[in-house]
Chain A
Amino acid sequence: MSEEERGVCMFAYNNEKMDYVQFAHAAAAYVKRNMPGMKTCLITDDGTYAYLKDSLPANLHNKCFDTVITQDIDHPSNPRRHFDSPWTEFSTQFSNSNKHDIFELTPFEKTMLIDTDYFIMNNDYAYLFDTDISVGMHKYARYLEGQPPYMNEQQLSDAGIHHWWSTVVYFDQSPESKLFFDIWAHVKENWDYYHLLYQFPPGLFRTDFCVSIAAHILNGFNENNFVHDFDGIPLINMDQKDDIIEIKSANDIIFLSHNRKEQWKNILARYQNTNLHLMNKLAISRHIQDIIDNVTMGWEL
């Protein structure tokens, strides 16, 4: 398979508080650095793209992304509560309603869709592109001190189905993959019905719930292996209540990890060459220039 047929895509839609397109450039720079030969594609809207062209250097943008797809779309209201440490809380728009459209939008034959707050610091996903796997996602997750996910991140409800993570979705263009994304769209369109059926809170539209339901249905309403789980390797999450202390180098970050029961207590945690899902967006914002400088070190910009 040629390099053009494999790539990493990400969606980025800015809002008044989050510069997702800047995060996307950091995430794409990580892909370029740690997944040699991998193409990248940014999917955004016209307004965000106009802002991108004004706010980011053109040569950085051109180095980070091989393809940009812009759409003129309206995002339905989907306010999401965020934390920045245990002591700061805010709400902002979360535009994720068209994530399932990636099956049609991707320019690649084999695609890995990642969130813009997911930084790839090794080449562990490379094997996927040489397999016949149709769909892959993380089934398990851990936080910085090895803590398990919160209850609503383990199951959709008490005694409910398993929670899968849509932070990283690998897929090919097979009929099975199409079925997966069609069900994702169907769940989105019938959100009120599925929230009653699977007993999850309807307030926030979460793509994690859509993919969990799709995986459940396609697995034959059972625990099965239609969806590849990246060999059980867990997604490593930095909690929204954790913080970044220092970017030591591109693939080496020190965090402050909070204690869930006694939130004023913290320990330091250092991660090297490990893929990380940095859920505290404001922490990323505070360090974004440092991150981009480190990841693009040695590039001719």
Chain B
Amino acid sequence: MDERLEKALEFGNYRTTLANQKRNVISRMQNLQKVHYKGGSFNANPTTIAFVQSLVSVKKKSSVIVDTKENPIEIEDLEDFLDTLISAYTEGVNEYKVQMDKITKARNIKKIMDW
């Protein structure tokens, strides 16, 4: 095989593998950012965090918040809920950063796999 083509195909395989690994890492982050609180399901994403922070900043202590399943959930302690959301968000993005740092530095498939 022409060496140029061989290298191009090898690079194509590397990019496919890299894209797949990135997708896995993003999925893991999203799973870590799922929060179950008072029987409701929430995503600890910037939108939810900002909304809850807004309620806290106008001195709200409690509120009803609609969860990802469209259920109204009574949150009695908004500050505690906010802490829980931020904790889950941080855990997810930290894991994402650690894993992405590893795979973006890897310049071939073996290094992506740490193999």
Contacts and interface: CB of A to CB of B under 8 A. Distances in A.
Contact of A268 (B34, B36, B39, B109): B109
B6 to A, nearest CB: 16
A233 interface: yes
Interface in B19-52: 20-21, 23-24, 27-28, 31, 34, 36, 39, 41
B69 interface: yes
Contacts of B31: 122, 124, 233
Nearest to A248: B114
A270 to B, nearest CB: 5
A268 B114 CA distance: 11
Contacts, number: 48
Given A225-B69, A246-B115, A274 B28 contact: yes
A160 B46 CA distance: 38
Interface in A249-285: 254, 257, 267-274
Given A267-B16, A268-B113, A132 B24 contact: no
A267 B115 contact: no
Contacts of B39: 131-132
B68 interface: yes
Nearest to B103: A270
A275 to B, nearest CB: 9
Contacts of B112: 268, 270
Interface residues of B, number: 22
Interface string A159-183: 0000000000000000000000000
Interface of B: 13, 16-17, 20-21, 23-24, 27-28, 31, 34, 36, 39, 41, 68-69, 99, 109, 112-115
Given A233-B34, A274-B28, 18 more contacts: A122-B31, A127-B36, A130-B36, A144-B20, A145-B20, A146-B20, A254-B113, A257-B20, A267-B17, A267-B20, A268-B112, A269-B17, A269-B20, A270-B21, A270-B24, A270-B113, A271-B24, A272-B99
